[in-house]
A and B are shown apart, each in its own frame.
Chain A
Amino acid sequence: MSFSDGASKSSSKSSTKPTYSRFTQQELPACKPILTPALVMATFIVIGITFIPIGLSHLSASENVVELVDQYDEVCIPADSPDPDVVYSKRIGYIQDETTDKTCIRTLIVPKKMKQPIFVYYQLDQFYQNHRRYVKSRNDEQYRDPSASAKTTNCEPEAQLSEGQPIVPCGLIAWSLFNDTYTLSRNDVALPINKKGIAWESDRTHKFGDNVYSKNFQNRSLIGGGKLIDNIPLNQQEDLLVWMRTAALPNFRKLYGRIETDLEVNEIIKVVIQNNYNTYSFNGKKKLVISTTTWIGGKNDFLGMVYIIVGGVCLLIALVFITVYLIKPRPLGDPSYLSWNKNPASVQ
């Protein structure tokens, strides 16, 4: 007979009764809802009739947004050849040549009256700001703290000059700063773009220091994007701040500035673009976007559409459920459906 490890296991044979409480006896009062047809149908109907109005109002808000989009990357580059490979290399040669004048003039017609504030964005397509190598290549401490300018962890390969001096601001993100510029004019009168306050306030006050100045920036042989002004603190160079808020999607818009006058319908706006930024290597697109906003922000039909679809589908489901319920009513909890009661002999 094998003897157990009786002594090592201590079984607490307390002869006192366990204390009674509703928790220990698992008898806490509980609400036990079940999916009754009425409850489920009501849910779907309520969802349906609340979602459709929300969707409609969202759509109408989106409709009210006036948006001007102009893709200029194709037209602002002189390269016409039937062979795409030739076009590709020509374009890259053009954009990388610093000596060429890359001015490009576009005219836009205002489709509807646009009330101020009007926002000017640039939009990049197929630009992976969320690429792993890219998105990690920054050092927030260096940007915030003037004494930490030597801290360039994570900033590789744009961390230091070959002699070892740290680059401020370091990292690929800053290095690839967008540097196209737009100058707007209406009827030959310049239309000022206010570039103050385009970055998040928190970025200006906390993320970037007000006495951190750029150093050794774009001084390596490989020049990326825009340059910075060395005697203006980083937090006042708001284009950089906007750019450094990396986008989660490969197609994104970033705020370029604000127009603080209304634009009338059919007004012609002349845009002088300095087409400096290279999106041609990777076949990316560049767009200029001029847009108003409403309570939903910029133009976005998606949410409104989905709201209407979901609401409609919910109403449809409710309708189907009601129909099925009326045609083929089935009492809940019918004992005859229990398999052990499916016996003719026992259900009497």
Chain B
Amino acid sequence: MKRYVYINDDNLAKDIYCDNRISNRKYTILNFLPKNLWEQFSRFMNQYFLLIACLQLWSLITPVNPASTWGPLILIFAVSSSKEAWDDYNRYLLDKKANEKEIWIVRQGIRKLIQAQDICIGNIVWLRENDEVPCDLLLLGTADPQGFCYVETAALDGETDLKTRSIPSACMGIDVDLLHKIKGVIECPSPNKDIRRFDANMRLFPPFLDNDIFPLTIKNTLLQSCYLRNTEWACGVAVYTGNQTKLGMCRGIAEPKLTAVDAMIDKLTGAVFVFQIVVVIVLGIAGNVFKDKQGRKLWYVQYPKEGPWYELLVIPLRFELLCSIMIPISIKVSLDLAKSLYAKFIDWDVEMVDPETGIRSNAANQAISEDLGQVEYILTDKTGTLTENKMIFKRCCISGRFYGNESGDALTAKVGQFHTRHYPKMKKPLYVLLLVCAWFWRIKTEIFLILTSMHLQCNMKYLTLWSSHLTGKECLWWLGNAKAGNFSSCQKEQMKLFFLLPILIVSGQQVRTFAEAVEQYAQMGLRTLCLAWRKLEEDEYQEWTSMFKEANSTLVDRERRVAEVCQRLERDFEILGVAAIEDRLQEGVPETIEILRKAGINFWMLTGDKMSTAIQIALSCNFVSPEPKGQILIIDGKTEDEVCRSLDRVLLTTRITESESKQDVAFVVDGWALEIALKHYRKPFTELAILSRTAICCRVTPSQKAQLVELLKLCDYRTLAIGDGGNDVRMIQQADIGVGISGREGLQAARAADYSIGKFRFLKRLILVHGRYSYNRTAFLSQYSFYKSFLICFIQIFFSFISGVSGTSLFNTVSLMAYNVFYTSVPVLFSVLDKDLSERTVMQHPQILFDCQSGRLLNPSTFAGWFGRSLFHAIVVFVITIHSYAFEKSVMEEVAMVAVSGCIWLQAFVVALETNSFTIFQHLAIWGNLVGFYAINWIVSSIPTSGMYTIMFRLCEQPSYWITMILIVATGMCPVLALKYLRYTYRPSRINLLQQSERLGGPILSSGIIEPKSRSSLDKDIPTDSVYEPLLSESPSATRRSAGPTQRLDSVQSQSPPHSTHTRKDN
């Protein structure tokens, strides 16, 4: 699929391609209502409520006024529709602003000012400095004589540094005035979302140039939403417009994530629905039987002799409506409100503000906070996530000599001195190489320091890289046209730098030294760079250049062909030296990982780094305990057989150690072996993944990261992926929870993520505090919502047995509606402020997270408990009401109000009993709600036309009313209190124990044991006679970064002798 763009052709392209009107809107005015309603009604709960509401319009079967369902339903729909509409309107405004921006383009050879939405494919667009690019442009000319311009791509990929863009060679040297008249054709792919590739070519029509086809790359483009910087002007031809630009294609609505809690609630709702159907069928049959046996004898009811055909259905349908309150309509609203408050608490948390940058945590996805409390696996990126992503040039090895020591970062100057003194000849190539490599690593400041120290005057702007190419971890940079004076000596030299993979080292004494250096640096956890160079002769260079050009202009399979061409040059290198760069661990990383591991969360590290570096980092941040407690098993191999054998061996060892549970086993796998394992040995690998607490995956690609997340998700684990760079985006989107670190690699990950935080260490607070509280609160809120609905529904069911199974509603419309929407929703909403344990206690005893992970607070058995409680309370309310308001007091309206008040009183005490910490808001909500209940009913009772006129006043005057209320509360709550007390004292849960110790002031000293993580053992306590030993050492010095490097090195070396199970290949 290709598209041909004719430059400056006003007539041709208009009809074929879309104009530049951007539209991010989901709806139009016309389709808003149907589309929005359709979306809302695709949810089962909403369909259910709609069905109920429609049934209620049939007055023959409706027990109460239809308003009791329609009111809340319309309210809920109105709220979510208006939220959608408001969002869409804001998007429309933004689009409008972008569409109506005035842009200079060329029409009929004249520059004209038009609105951005009128740009067509093939138009030449002129931009000035700091202008936003209105559509995807192919650069034709810039103010810079060399044909360069600078763009800021932050809106596109989040990277904040300026990127260089250059005009295609074909347009080089065309006069500014002639640019108006340029004609040609661009052959480019159909619109796609790949922002890193633009494999196209261009042919200019005479008189501009001959018929040569010129290759175009992404380097020649200005993409929509970028900003032109440091360049006076630039012009380009529009190749993609409107929603077909790279940015537009990238836009997409991410799949909404469903939390485990939501899934559980949906499941429970389904169960309740089935129960409701059963109740309806039973009562329906009973009703029809009663009607035939008894009902027809009740002359005062006047049953007609012959009913319509649907007569048998009438009573079951009435009961369906009567029981419809069993599924609380308020639960959705309550949960949505609670969830948005959880998210707000995360946004507001001052303890999760990065003190360096002031970036605060942000919950972009408001709906999944509970899942944070149920995380079982954390998959983390290394660079920038665990580490600071601040590259510090630490050590180097030049010609077999090692430079740099433990003392710190200020090595560069020293190296410089050493270097200048001992190897003056090597100086320049090495530093130029370093400079180039620094460009790649984006650590300009650091390198500028070096340059200054070396008195090299260099303006980065002129260090022009006219071609760059990157495959995997191999990096080829061509340095040409180095303009600054001091670089003149290397002007004609073409130099190459690549990351030396250990495999590439063949033989030779000198090479071995470097190989050792690489290995040694890697074991220190440093990133290593091998620097090598070779002189090129002029003709060799020319020959190669033409080949490269040819390869670079192919449309098909360009990457592979370029790689092939590059290979030709990569030979006979002279190794200059090895540079090691340290990427320090972020503050608090080991502690965070230790705490989270104690909380039973399994860590997987997925990194692009090489194995030894990854292992070293893993050791230093408490991923794995050092030997002898920790064991690292390596899966490797180049062929299927090797991988298979290796995998089996590791699996066997893991099984044995797992059954003994003495050791902390981690497996290490590299990208290649992982590819094979995932493709051919998925089953054993999955088993290993389940068994192993820790895994280190090195040299993995972004898609492999996502695959691993998928693997764990398929095993039904809750996964959290955390990363900071663009290569983590897929993993972040794939995982149940994606956390992005707003780091140096830009905001790309943070934007794609559900949560963004400034530093890795905030993760523990995010999970242990916010996640845990959210889970606990939602667990209570949702089950309580069902409890109160059951309570009132059971009373209705019981009442039907004394009203001739005819489906009479005991309660009137106002009470029913207010009960669900107001009386019982308000007090419980404030349970979002409830804290069962203080944050400090949770941090001290992260193991308490097990309760959330295993879903102990919300599962069918806790739900059954609430179900039983509501049944018991319904019996209490009903029996006491009908006996104390019997005979001459048995007036329908009064009995109904007594029952409702009984429910309100009971639920206030239930909420109070289940609340762990009362703030002023909870007191206000719980007791204020009671006052509110009476106030509302008194108001309704003073309206003469209401059915309830004077009822509440009459009741409140009677002593027996209050006596009944007290009796209902005491009878309902005493057994609950007694059971709770017994469990609390004699079978306390871990939460109870910690509560007791926290509030009675007795310190609980928790030892740092990690409990076995396997699912089955989560639910049973460890037997006291078990042989579990602490797996993580209590002394941090052995593993932490704070220890001196010498010691670290020692510990590394003590680690490195191959373990019996190591299958690492020795170099």
Contacts and interface: CB of A to CB of B under 8 A. Distances in A.
- Candidate in B302, B727, B994, B1002 with the most chain A CB atoms within 10 angstroms: B302
B345 A4 contact: no
B1011 interface: yes
A128 B804 contact: yes
A172 B300 contact: yes
B963 A47 contact: no
A102 B967 CA distance: 45
A179 to B, nearest CB: 12
A140 B944 CA distance: 11
Contacts of B996: 34, 332-333
Interface of A, helix, strand, loop or mixed by DSSP: loop
A339 B847 CA distance: 9
Given A131-B808, A298-B888, A333-B1000, A343 B1028 contact: yes
Contact of A131 (B298, B702, B748, B990): B298
Contacts of B251: 5, 7-8
Given A6-B157, A302-B883, A347-B1007, A247 B808 contact: no
A196 interface: no
B730 A1 contact: yes
A144 B298 CA distance: 28
A17 B358 contact: yes
A224 B253 CA distance: 67
Contacts of A206: 944, 949
Interface stretch (A36-44, A70-78, A182-190, A228-236): A36-44
B322 to A, nearest CB: 10
Interface in A28-60: 28-35, 37, 40, 43-44, 47, 51, 54, 58
A118 B1006 CA distance: 73
A129 B1024 CA distance: 65
A87 to B, nearest CB: 15
Interface string B219-252: 0000001000000000000000000000100111
Contacts of B1003: 335
A246 to B, nearest CB: 5
B892 A31 contact: no
A12 interface: yes
Contact of B918 (A31, A222, A306, A346): A31
A193 B747 CA distance: 89
A71 to B, nearest CB: 14
B892 A246 contact: yes
Interface string A157-175: 1100000000000001001
A334 B993 contact: yes
A348 to B, nearest CB: 9
Contact of A346 (B254, B887, B1030): B1030
Interface string A248-262: 111111110000000
A143 B466 CA distance: 95
B702 A11 contact: no
Interface residues of B, number: 141
A240 interface: no
B642 interface: no
Given A131-B301, A172-B301, A6 B804 contact: no
B63 interface: yes
A314 interface: yes
B274 interface: no
B289 interface: no
B1011 A340 contact: yes
Interface string B552-587: 000000000000000000000000000000000000
A132 B302 CA distance: 12
B974 interface: yes
A99 interface: no
Given A4-B752, A131-B803, A306 B880 contact: yes
A341 B360 CA distance: 36
B959 A248 contact: no
Interface in B349-388: 349-351, 353, 357-360, 362, 364
A147 B161 CA distance: 82
A28 B919 contact: yes
Interface in B875-912: 880, 882-896
A278 interface: yes
B891 A245 contact: yes
A39 to B, nearest CB: 9
Contacts of B895: 248-249
Given A2-B730, A35-B980, A344 B252 contact: no
A12 B331 CA distance: 29
Interface stretch (A18-26, A109-117, A268-276): A18-26
B747 A13 contact: yes
Contact of A5 (B254, B730, B883): B254
B981 A321 contact: yes
Contacts of A303: 883-884, 960, 963-964, 967
A348 B253 CA distance: 56
B888 A132 contact: no
Nearest to A13: B359
A172 B570 CA distance: 102
A313 interface: yes
Contact of B888 (A29, A157, A207, A253): A253
Given A17-B360, A130-B802, A202-B950, A32 B892 contact: no
B999 interface: yes
Contacts of B501: none
A245 B896 CA distance: 13
B457 interface: no
Contact of A133 (B301, B726, B887): B301
Interface string B700-740: 00100000000000000000000000110110010000000
B1029 interface: yes
A282 B298 contact: yes
Interface of A: 1-9, 11-20, 24-26, 28-35, 37, 40, 43-44, 47, 51, 54, 58, 119, 121, 123, 127-135, 140, 144, 157-158, 172, 175-176, 200, 202, 206-207, 222, 224-225, 245-255, 278, 281-283, 295-298, 300, 302-303, 306-307, 310, 313-314, 317, 321, 330, 332-335, 337-347
Given A130-B808, A282-B299, A341-B1005, 4 more contacts: A1-B196, A1-B702, A6-B250, A342-B1023
Interface of B: 24, 63, 155-158, 193-196, 225, 247, 250-254, 294-295, 297-304, 318, 344-345, 347-351, 353, 357-360, 362, 364, 702, 726-727, 729-730, 733, 742, 747-748, 750-752, 756, 773, 799, 802-804, 806-808, 810, 833, 835, 845, 847, 880, 882-896, 916-922, 944-945, 947, 949-950, 954, 958-960, 963-964, 966-967, 970-971, 974, 977-978, 980-981, 984-986, 988, 990, 993-1000, 1002-1007, 1009, 1011, 1021-1026, 1028-1030
